[in-house]
Structures are given as structure tokens and as C-alpha cells.
């Protein structure tokens, strides 16, 4: 298929196959702009909501699921990260007067809305559901290709689908394409062939120059990318983030090489493949600094993020009152720990971003400490946003504790952070008008060759 043929046939990718439900019939617990998003997603049938943390994606996905159940008489499954399923069923759903059933097996399925974890999805017959919601759907990229493909195939024939997650990572086109693939909009292979070219020099895919306009039009047709309500024409009142105080705690460590054949000093310009070895060398120094930070204000609550079990072990040794949650713990313990942290019964909680970093609401706490970092900007962003989000009433203190030999990791994160900021600003300028037209139902289904939109400045 050449590009002209694609333009002529593109109409098949934008057809709405859902339900046209008036916003007035949606839950009155939703804000007006949230009703617009839910109404749009219901009309599409298969879509994604990329919204900043704290904008109420959980309420929106619950009402979407509720309406799908009402319209079809079938059941809907919400798939969520560990810990989030309990939070959604027992804390969020009752606020909308909805009943959500927690399940771990097919036998536990009940009529209406059901929810489970990604990790136990293979124990459930997904053909029993007419609709599915992937909560924190960006977590898909943390799974292997085999598992991600399995999840996509599980819901290949599901008529109604919704993906909910924070805004995509910087320049992460594959994340967008994986979402389109799961939703059944277009396979990743098709999208790559139409919009991208394989850059043999860098081993990456980049947008074809002549396809850039159409790519963003295509994305906006099945996904809403929202940082604040004004992105779709609403007032931002009540959606102001508190002040974020960021502290970079760089601690001195011994940089003498154990093996003098490699030189007297360790090379501090670490590669992505060697930094774990360096992290192990700096654990003691970083953990001691974390304890000092907590000792300065011992009555406060602290959320501590680690990447390795060894880091957690050392922190527990120095802070015996802290509670650690790791992957091997039972789901019941994880849920109990998160609940006790929310109520203030636990003062210091230690865990990894891949366990509690996605979807959890910890606005009760306003102190977050990173006992080291990895090269994953997504993990850093999500972990910070457990406390720094809309709904947080206090200034947030974020401490990043690193050894002097690990500064390159922080530089990498800050570079990606700036890329993310530029991408958000550029996308807002590029697609805001298109999104406002889309959610108000005035976008033409037919794509015209001569239509143009302002290109993102970061392309």
C-alpha cells in the first residue's frame, strides 16, 4: 500500500463502534470534563485515556465499565497492577455507588464489573467478558514481548476496550503503537510500515517526514492526551499542583578500584549494563543518608523507593520501624501495608516502583525518598506521582540520594524529564484544537489529504 492509498483507506481506522450516551446520563460524581472524556470513550468503543496523575482516571474507567455493562448486559473486567485492584474495588468504586468484584479465578466471576491483577490474568477465562479496561496500561512495556502479546491475544475478540495510563514517555512511539495494537486499531507492524522508517544507524524507528501530520491525527482519533482540563476546553480550577521541593543528595563514596589493573579510580561514567555493580558499592552510604533525612523530621511520613532487595535490607537494618513490601510478599500483606500507610499507622514504607509505583494514591504522604535511581524515567515519574499529584494538599519534598559515582544516572533522568516537558508542551500546541473538536463530536471521519496541523516542535 502506498501513502496515497493509505489516505484514501484511512477511514476504516477512525470508525466509532461504541455507544452514544448523553453526558447527562453519566454519574453525577464526575466533573463535567470527565463526563466528556467518558462519553467520548464510550462512543469510540475502543480507546485510550492518557491523563496526568490525579485527574481521576479510576472514576472514569469505572463509569465506562458501568455503562458498558448497562448497554450490553455483559460483564467487564478491569486489569490493574498489584495493590491497585483492592484500592479500586474497596475505596474508589463505593464513591460512585458501584460494586466491583475482586477475582483471582474464573469461578469467582460475578455479574457486572470484575477486577483482577495482571500477574494472575492467565487464571481467568477472558472470553467471559464483553469489555476490558487496562488500568495503568503503560505497565505493559515492563512485561516481556511474550507476555505482552499474550495479554493482547487474550482480549483480541473483546468488543469494547479502554486503556488508562499517564501520558506516554518521551518519544516512546512503541508505547503508543502497543496501545493501538491492543485496542485493535492497527497492528504494530502495520503502523511501523505506514508511519515510520527504520534508522539503520541508530537501530531505532523514526517518523517519516511526510507521515507526521497523519500520525498525530491518527493517534488523536483513538486517544486523548490530557495534562489538565483546559486541554479539552474546560477550566483548570482545583487542578493546581502543590510546590515540589526537589533535593539532590549526592554522597561521597570510595572511588578507589578494587582491581588496580583497571586503574586507580573507578570510571564514574557508568553504562546501563554496569550500574547495578556500582549501586551495590554505594548502598551503605546512600542508606545512611536516607536515615539522616528521616531523623531530621522523625514525625513525618516517608515513602522510600528502592531498586534492589539489598537496598531495602540495609534500610530496614538502619530504620527498624520501617515496613518493607517486596515482590515475594503475599497480596494480602501488600494490601494491608498500603492501607496502613494511607491511614498513617505506618510511618515509613519501603518498596519498589514496580510494586507500588503504578496507580497507588498516597497523597496522605508528602515526603518521598529515592534511595538511588535506575535509567527508567517512567519508573521515576510514576513513583514520584504517587504523592505529587492533583489532590495533594501539602508541599512535596522529593529526595534523590545517589553516590558521587552515580551522577550520570541523574543526568540521564533530568534529560528525559526535559524531553517529556518539551513533548507535552509541543503536543498541547499541536493537538489541543483537534482534541477539543474530537471530544465535542465535530471531527470529520474522512481524512483529507490537504488538511494540516501544527507539528510538535520536538520532532
Write out pLDDT tens, residues 368-398: 999 999 888 888 988 999 999 988 999 999 9
> What pLDDT shows up at residue 444?
38
User: Domains of the chain, with CATH numbers?
Assistant: 3-236 (3.40.50.10810), 244-414 (3.40.50.300)
CA dist list (Å): 348 to 319, 337, 338: 9, 11, 11
> What pLDDT shows up at residue 155?
96
> What pLDDT shows up at residue 443?
41
Contact yes or no for 114/78 (Cβ under 8 A) = yes
* Residue 312 dihedral angles phi and psi, to the nearest 5°: -65, -40
> What pLDDT shows up at residue 6?
53
> What pLDDT shows up at residue 325?
96
> What pLDDT shows up at residue 232?
84
> What pLDDT shows up at residue 150?
85
Segments of the chain with pLDDT less than 70: 1-16, 142-144, 167-171, 201-203, 255-273, 423-459
From the list 176, 177, 193, 188, the residue with the least C-alpha distance to 3 is 193
CA distance 261 to 257: 9
Tell the residue number behind the cell numbers 534508522, with chain if given.
199
CA dist list (Å): 218 to 9, 13, 15, 355, 430: 13, 8, 11, 33, 13
Amino acid at each position: 500500500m502506498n501513502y496515497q492509498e493509505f489516505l484514501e483507506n484511512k477511514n476504516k481506522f477512525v470508525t466509532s463502534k461504541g455507544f452514544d450516551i448523553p453526558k447527562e446520563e453519566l454519574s453525577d460524581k464526575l466533573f463535567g470534563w470527565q463526563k466528556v472524556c467518558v462519553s467520548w470513550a464510550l462512543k469510540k468503543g475502543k480507546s485510550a485515556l492518557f491523563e496526568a496523575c490525579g485527574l481521576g482516571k479510576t472514576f472514569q474507567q469505572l463509569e465506562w465499565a458501568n455503562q458498558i455493562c448497562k448497554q450490553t448486559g455483559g460483564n467487564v473486567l478491569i486489569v490493574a497492577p498489584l495493590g491497585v485492584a483492592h484500592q479500586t474495588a474497596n475505596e474508589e468504586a463505593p464513591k460512585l455507588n458501584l460494586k466491583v468484584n475482586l477475582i483471582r479465578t474464573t469461578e469467582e466471576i460475578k455479574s457486572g464489573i470484575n477486577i483482577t491483577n495482571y500477574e494472575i490474568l492467565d487464571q481467568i477465562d477472558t472470553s467471559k467478558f464483553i469489555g476490558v479496561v487496562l488500568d495503568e496500561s503503560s505497565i505493559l512495556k515492563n512485561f516481556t514481548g511474550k507476555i505482552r502479546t499474550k495479554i493482547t491475544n487474550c482480549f483480541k475478540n473483546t468488543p469494547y476496550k479502554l486503556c488508562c495510563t499517564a501520558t506516554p514517555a518521551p518519544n516512546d512511539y512503541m508505547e503508543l503503537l502497543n496501545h493501538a495494537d491492543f485496542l485493535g486499531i492497527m497492528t504494530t507492524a502495520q503502523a511501523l510500515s505506514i508511519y515510520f522508517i527504520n534508522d539503520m544507524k541508530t537501530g531505532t524507528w523514526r517518523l517519516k517526514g511526510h507521515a507526521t501530520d497523519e500520525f498525530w491525527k491518527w493517534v488523536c482519533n483513538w486517544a486523548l492526551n490530557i495534562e489538565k482540563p483546559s486541554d479539552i476546553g474546560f477550566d483548570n480550577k482545583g487542578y493546581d499542583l502543590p510546590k515540589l521541593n526537589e533535593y539532590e543528595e549526592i554522597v561521597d563514596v570510595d572511588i578507589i578500584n578494587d582491581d588496580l589493573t583497571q586503574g586507580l579510580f573507578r570510571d564514574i561514567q557508568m553504562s546501563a549494563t554496569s550500574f547495578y555493580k556500582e549501586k551495590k558499592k554505594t548502598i551503605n552510604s546512600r542508606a545512611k543518608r536516607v536515615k539522616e533525612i528521616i531523623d531530621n523530621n522523625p514525625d513525618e511520613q516517608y515513602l522510600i523507593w528502592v531498586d534492589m532487595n539489598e537496598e531495602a535490607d540495609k534500610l530496614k537494618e538502619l530504620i527498624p520501624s520501617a515496613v518493607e513490601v517486596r515482590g515475594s510478599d503475599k497480596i494480602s500483606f501488600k494490601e494491608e501495608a498500603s492501607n496502613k500507610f494511607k491511614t498513617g499507622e505506618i510511618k515509613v514504607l519501603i518498596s519498589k516502583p514496580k510494586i507500588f509505583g503504578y496507580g497507588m494514591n498516597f497523597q496522605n504522604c508528602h515526603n518521598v525518598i529515592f534511595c538511588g535511581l535506575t535509567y527508567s524515567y517512567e519508573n521515576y515519574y510514576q513513583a514520584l506521582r504517587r504523592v505529587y499529584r492533583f489532590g495533594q494538599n501539602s508541599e512535596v519534598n522529593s529526595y534523590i540520594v545517589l553516590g558521587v559515582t552515580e551522577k550520570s544516572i541523574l543526568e540521564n533522568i533530568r534529560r528525559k524529564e526535559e524531553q517529556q516537558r518539551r513533548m507535552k508542551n509541543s503536543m498541547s500546541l499541536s493537538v489541543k484544537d483537534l482534541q477539543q473538536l474530537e471530544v465535542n463530536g465535530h471531527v470529520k471521519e474522512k481524512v483529507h489529504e490537504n488538511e494540516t496541523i501544527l507539528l510538535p516542535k520536538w520532532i
